[in-house]
Structure 1
Amino acid sequence: MIIEVIGGADEVPEVRVADVDDLTRLHLAVGAVTDEEADAALRSAGMGRLTDGDTGVVSVAALRAAAEPQASTADWGDRFDAMVIFAADKGWTADDGAGLQVHVEPAASA
């Protein structure tokens, strides 16, 4: 799954979730926006925040709410829960487990 922060209408960055059925990976893809713009967009969307240029924190609840309506498999919820448990077992959580730490990568469209 990919959380994208890309330039939107009127150059206001947009946050969206892509590849929601691929729960074997999770990262933040940032397009041609500054770290400050990406952080502000994530916070405004209620999706999370950047901690630095390489790492972000994504709200588990917000991610689920944004991704689940796009899911195409009946077992998506169970697989999402398993992804969160896996991340917790690896120590990739933040905010007392309410957030997941994610790597920041350039967006394909950047």
Structure 2
Amino acid sequence: MSQLPTIGHGERSEGGTEVSPCGRPRREEAEQAVIERATGVMMALGRLETGQARLALSEVSRRTGIALGRIAELLTAWASTGELNLGLRIALEEAIRHQRPAPSRRKL
């Protein structure tokens, strides 16, 4: 039985990119972690489910033309600094509103 070569902690792939033990580029893992934290911020802000929060972040990225990773960085920084561009804040609020279910109107 032959063994597949593995890349260990801190090793580099053939292209010279540092990779994690699971084989993903470290930069990609770091960006994914920031996106996950930003998803949590959106969940708390908008009282959204995980999927809704992720969709809201993606919507803001599409509408503003800013990469999802950058949106996530700005949102997580805002959570600790309180500083966020007004246009981005408005886009986030609108995206949250789109993800919330409309209140039901019951007739009595």
| TM-score (norm. length: structure 2) | 0.23
**Higher relative strand content:** 1
| TM-score (norm. length: structure 1) | 0.23
With a CA cutoff of 8 Å and minimum separation of 6, indicate the structure with the bigger relative contact order: 1
**Higher relative helix content:** 2
Larger radius of gyration: 2
